[in-house]
Chain A
Amino acid sequence: MTEHVVIVGGGTGGTVLANDLADRLEPELDAGDVEVTLINDDPDHVYKPVWLYVPFGQREPDDGRRALDELVDDAIDLRIDRVSGIDTESQRLRFGGSGQSMEYDRLVLATGSTLEPDQIPGLAAGGHDYYSESGATALRDELLSFTEGEIVLSVIGTPHMCPAAPLEFVFMADDWFRERGLREDVEVTYTYPIQRVHGNPHIAEWARPIMDERDINVETFFNAESVDPDAETITSMEGTELDYDLLVSIPPHGGVDLIEDAGLGDDGWVDVDKHTLEAEAAESVYALGDTADTGVPNAGSVAHYQAGVVGRRLASEIRGRPATATYDGKTLCFIETGMDAASFVEFDYETPPSPAPPSEKLHWSKLAYNESYWLTARGLL
């Protein structure tokens, strides 16, 4: 009997896993003992880190898109469709448009994050973002012609994708305006929900002096409650009101509804064992990347490493061996500190991050990795 592995979501985690399994389970796939299906609702794979550079006119959204059927090994069945329901009892998925369903023996959820700006009144109309293709291009249209006034970068939703990106944006904006002789005419303000500038205390401790040195205004304990697009103000739950000429937000994030509907976790995040990545509420279900509620950053590197762990565990289970691979919380991030310098952090559940001194070499390493990312998606790097 053929064992059917189904992966829902063709982002970094799902795509790396599909290619990992194509390689790892090649004998079983060739023999027809195993079938692997990757389901995504978009024929393209999207590499989101490109969006950080779009507002500064350095990259195009298309630089972050490639057709999934060019990235995914031919041994994988690729289905472009949207899953509308999961029944973990009967081990069956439903599809919204066609009304069809699909059985699975082992399921991996890699559905990722979605933006929910409507949680904050006025945000969709008054704010910009670089966490979506349309947001990044609309922000580019504003930023490229911005020569004076107040830019407010407000981190509203946490957890959010790429926890370093808000810091990167203000560091890059500061440098970008400075290089063009406009910095004295532009105020840059950064807001964060808790009492420091980043969720991770070690990164916050590293970033705060750089922000002070570069005259980036900081508002902590700022949880946006509403935005008034006409008055161009953003007001926090804590009672602080800030004027802006250009509001850049990290909007509230959520997972997809079908996770909660299936009873797998709240807000679209699957409750998992943070080492094995197995769902706590159902058998034969894994989650990875943003979808897995592990407490580590929602970052591509996390999804990449977790995909390797899930790939090894699935291969062990399919071969009737004990699954011993575990995820240790490994996270790796480059952090741009300007237009031509970057830092780097690597950490896990036990070892806290220690940001490297910013350098041009690390900046080019980040850009070089962004180019070679397509090898990661193919399961080669």
Chain B
Amino acid sequence: MTDIEPDATVDARGAACPGPLMDLIGNVRSAESGDVIRLLSDTDQSLTDVPEWAEEAGNELLGVEELDDHNAFYVEKA
């Protein structure tokens, strides 16, 4: 997963649900089509929230990287 080069990183570690998803949505809102946003979240809820939203919004979840105490989600804006 580490070969994906994000255009921006959103560090939402420490934020309570639904903070990480809302932080991601806010960044995708201001991103250009084709940009890849990396979301760092330590909330388990993000494992379901983020894929559900990405699918609903037509953006592609390129991958999820499992790290020691958090996950990194790579989302490409459609």
Residues of A within 8 A of B (CB): 158-159, 193-195, 199, 201, 221, 223, 225, 237-239, 295
Find out whether the CB atom of B21 lies under 8 angstroms from the CB atom of A223.
Answer: no
A199, B18: Cα distance in complex, Å: 6
- Chain B: minimal CB distance from A253 (Å): 11
Chain B binding surface SS class: helix
- Chain A: minimal CB distance from B9 (Å): 13
- Interface presence of B16 (CB below 8 A): yes
The closest CB in chain A to the CB of B16 belongs to A295
27 A-B pairs (CB sep. < 8 Å): A158-B18, A158-B22, A159-B22, A193-B22, A193-B25, A194-B18, A194-B21, A194-B22, A194-B49, A194-B53, A195-B53, A195-B56, A199-B17, A199-B22, A201-B17, A221-B52, A221-B53, A221-B56, A223-B25, A223-B57, A225-B29, A237-B28, A237-B57, A238-B57, A239-B58, A295-B14, A295-B15
Find out whether the CB atom of B49 lies under 8 angstroms from the CB atom of A195.
Answer: yes
A199, B58: Cα distance in complex, Å: 22
- Interface presence of B63 (CB below 8 A): no
Contacts of A199 in B (CB 8 A): 17-18, 22
Given contacts A158-B22, A221-B56, A238-B58, 16 further A-B contacts (CB under 8 A): A158-B18, A193-B25, A194-B18, A194-B21, A194-B53, A195-B52, A199-B17, A199-B18, A201-B17, A223-B25, A223-B57, A237-B25, A237-B29, A239-B58, A295-B16, A295-B19
* Contact flags B44-59 to A (C-beta < 8 A → 1, else 0): 0000010011001110
Residues of B within 8 A of A (CB): 14-19, 21-22, 25, 28-29, 49, 52-53, 56-58
- Chain B: minimal CB distance from A186 (Å): 28
- Chain B: minimal CB distance from A310 (Å): 21
- Chain B: minimal CB distance from A192 (Å): 10
A199, B49: Cα distance in complex, Å: 12
Contacts of B58 in A (CB 8 A): 238-239
- Chain B: minimal CB distance from A56 (Å): 29
A237, B15: Cα distance in complex, Å: 23
A194, B57: Cα distance in complex, Å: 11
- Chain A: minimal CB distance from B46 (Å): 11
A239, B22: Cα distance in complex, Å: 17
- Chain A: minimal CB distance from B60 (Å): 14
The closest CB in chain A to the CB of B30 belongs to A119
A362, B39: Cα distance in complex, Å: 41
Contacts of A194 in B (CB 8 A): 18, 21-22, 49, 53
A306, B40: Cα distance in complex, Å: 28
Most chain A beta-carbon neighbours within 10 Å: one of B14, B16, B18, B58: B18
Contacts of B57 in A (CB 8 A): 221, 223, 237-239
Contacts of A159 in B (CB 8 A): 22
A223, B29: Cα distance in complex, Å: 9
A237, B49: Cα distance in complex, Å: 16
Contacts of B29 in A (CB 8 A): 223, 225, 237
A159, B25: Cα distance in complex, Å: 12
The closest CB in chain B to the CB of A223 belongs to B25
The closest CB in chain B to the CB of A201 belongs to B17
A199, B20: Cα distance in complex, Å: 11
Contacts of A223 in B (CB 8 A): 25, 29, 57
- Chain B: minimal CB distance from A95 (Å): 32
Contacts of A201 in B (CB 8 A): 17
The 4 A-B pairs with the shortest beta carbon distances in the complex, nearest first, are A295-B16, A221-B56, A238-B57, A199-B18
- Chain A: minimal CB distance from B11 (Å): 10
